[in-house]
Structure 1
């Protein structure tokens, strides 16, 4: 039996961040990370397309929490203790320069996730955190006040343990055996599979500001929309996939969406089109794109409105004007399935949040059992928010364990 003061299960973002901060804040503690794989920080490596989207430039806790479909209420207090500005200061103090991009995402200026990995590995060495790879956890048990963990490579004991294993069903099962409730995991960040004549020939086209609704639900979002080879993506769709994760899973990812490409009402659009009918009377509708819509998208919506390619504005009858207004403001698409968004394997699901004390991130069921990151039923939209949850939870755990 190898004895440690603190065992961190999971060598990912939350695990490393916690272990480093524990060891730095209390150098007397003997801290070890147990990682089941042969490499650590694998998710950090692929995140943000290999650039590592460290966090997001949102500096007000009450605004930041709005990006968490699950965890919004619980994270408000923690974000007052440690959030975006603290994350940036932490990395910059350790020589990692960061930059804020136009859309608010924050990356290392190196544009390489390896910079973050090197920082963590070096800090772990500096503070004598032992990193044990190929240690897959088989059992977690407690005898009196001591935690025992059996791995494929041996047995360990510790006064305090942190579970930071992300969405790992085996660990969730072990936590269930300890009495915790697990919310059933479902995918949370995904793109929509759509086969539709209007979009089949225009992959790569981006409509900058659209509104998207899922019909027969209260789900809606706004933002850019990207047409892809398999359907639709970009923030407007990803937000829907995150906030609608449970509802869309129930529907087996078969549902209808309604898109307002111009963010105007049907009536306002009709009025606009009537003016254009007079002003652009002799011009071909197909060739005179409006509302700053990409030309190829405009052309597909015109054809879908039963308007011939050579029809002029003056030629349009009432039905065609109605059709075009409908395509621009209330276009309905059938979604049939989902695809993973890049390498962002995000799931909703995890430890029931009612069973965690969010002042400390400690289990309410067992003393000295802590959680951080996606092992909890917390997830976010894309843009660095899932990492911020990991840093915040891990930091608060470290403060409490290192006392």
Structure 2
């Protein structure tokens, strides 16, 4: 089969690239997807609601959500970022809404709305979608590229690789001379069996978490689960610490400050004041801090102070309570995938890509978009934003390259 542009990978970045090329030109565009279905990750993202992007509209602020890719994305985000994404979807009939935490979703709260938009746009602009087409090899030829799939040979003037975290494609790119940063998981939750946590699944609170023995620290909402810890504070930590935590084989100790920004000294002062003001009350009946009641009672139970009266608490016990509230230690043994949203740190070495065009510096006419690159972000719509930005800029560069020559 002959085409002008072949996009390898039928996910978010692949579709966005293909649609934008076809909409801006008369070029023949085809998408080759290895699976039976396209846009499978889009379907499950955001709990099935598809967190399209995030309401951060300043490029230099937006890049701070990317543990890998922060420096490289500054230029691209000045070209196409969250505001442009909103305009792109809304001009195609997809109404979006911004939630309190800044995440942006379709008003329908259904990822199917985004999928339908992509499929309709593909049809409207004549994009050919080839399913069940795993790629076996990519070769440079005089006319561009020859791509061998399991079913047939595809010839194209330009190729876009948008295969996400696909080890086989990384292997092919490595064979073509690209360096691949070895992949490790990012965006995962922490497994922990601890007596304090057992009765507390579902409890959420603002907290600060540190990984002992490293510089890794994170603040934000923390969720106690049946298997340990989750929530934005943990996911941020897993993203920034993806390589360090992999090196530790996911066996490490965290310190949790349940009081978020309060120090040990702050906590001690407030506890002493409460002792003076409510001597006859039990600790369990006089919650001092802005933490969930179940968590307060859980901490007190853990150190045997739940039913003690404030008048009877010793200096040593007050110190122990302040310590437990501001620097409780938990042993982490392993990780779990966050929902179905598996994100990988790793991919094509960023020095080998021109971020003005997303073209490979080693192979003219070969473009790389989305998570195939060593770029990843924390949860909140940022990984999709990377897909849209890279796809849009690659599309613009390809249209310019193939229609001007």
| Interval containing the TM-score (normalised by the shorter chain) | over 0.9
> Could you tell me which residue of structure 1 aligns to residue 90 of structure 2?
92
- Aligned partners of 1:349, 1:135: CA distance in 2, in Å? 24
Distance in 1 of aligned mates of 2:171 and 2:376: 20
Whole-angstrom distance in 1 between the partners of 2:340 and 2:182: 21
**What residue in structure 2 maps to residue 182 of structure 1?**
180
SS at match of 1:213: strand
Which of these residues, 348, 353, 356, is aligned with residue 356 of structure 1? 353
**After alignment, is 101-110 or 264-273 more displaced?**
264-273
CA distance in 2, matches of 1:63, 1:303: 42
Distance apart, 1:144 and its partner CA? 3.2
Give the 5 Å matches for 1:286-297: 286-297=284-295
Which of 317, 320, 327 is the aligned partner of 2:314?
Answer: 317
SS state at 1:311 partner: coil
Deviations 1:356-383 (A, max 9, x none): 1111111011101001100000000001
Alpha-carbon distance between aligned partners in 2 of 1:145 and 1:72, rounded to the nearest angstrom = 35
Aligned 1:301-316 pairs, distance under 5 A: 301-307=299-305, 309-316=306-313
The 5 A counterparts of 1:107-126 are 107-126=105-124
State the partner residue of 1:30.
28
SS of 1:380's partner is coil
Residue 286 of structure 1 aligns to a residue whose secondary structure is helix
Compute the TM-score of the two structures, normalised by the length of structure 2: 0.97
Could you tell me how far apart the structure 2 residues matched to 1:327 and 1:380 are?
32
Aligned residues, how many?
Answer: 399
Determine helix, strand or coil for the equivalent of 1:142: strand
Aligned to 1:280: 278
Contact kept in structure 1, 2:271 and 2:288, CA below 8 Å: no
After superposition, what is the alpha-carbon deviation per residue over 1:74-127, rounded to whole angstroms, capped at 9, x for unaligned? 001100000000000000000000000111110000011000000000000100
Residue 318 of structure 1: CA displacement? 0.9
- Give 2:52's match in structure 1, choosing from 54, 60, 68: 54
> Counterpart in 2 of 1:15?
14
Match of 1:241 among 238, 246, 265: 238
Measured on the aligned residues, the alpha-carbon RMSD in Å equals 0.8
Q: Who is 1:386 aligned against?
A: 383
Where does residue 3 of structure 2 map in the other structure? Answer: 4
The whole-number CA distance in structure 2 between the counterparts of 1:296 and 1:385 is 33
Q: Deviations over 1:50-70 (max 9, x none)?
A: 110000110011111111010
Deviation at 1:145, TM superposition (A): 4.9
Q: Which moved more, 1:264-273 or 1:368-377?
A: 264-273
Measured after TM superposition, the shift of residue 305 of structure 1 is 2.8
Q: What residue ranges of structure 2 are gaps of 5+ in the alignment?
A: 401-405
Deviation (angstroms), 1:143: 1.8
Contact 1:15/1:33 (<8 A) preserved = yes
- What SS class does the counterpart of residue 283 from structure 2 fall into? coil
Aligned equivalents of 1:136 and 1:310: distance in 2?
64
The CA deviation string for residues 184-204 of structure 1, in whole angstroms up to 9 with x for no partner, is 101101000011111111100
In structure 2, C-alpha distance between the alignment counterparts of 1:332 and 1:186, rounded to whole Å = 25
Whole-Å separation in 1 of the counterparts to 2:123 and 2:151: 22
Normalising by structure 1, we get a TM-score of: 0.98
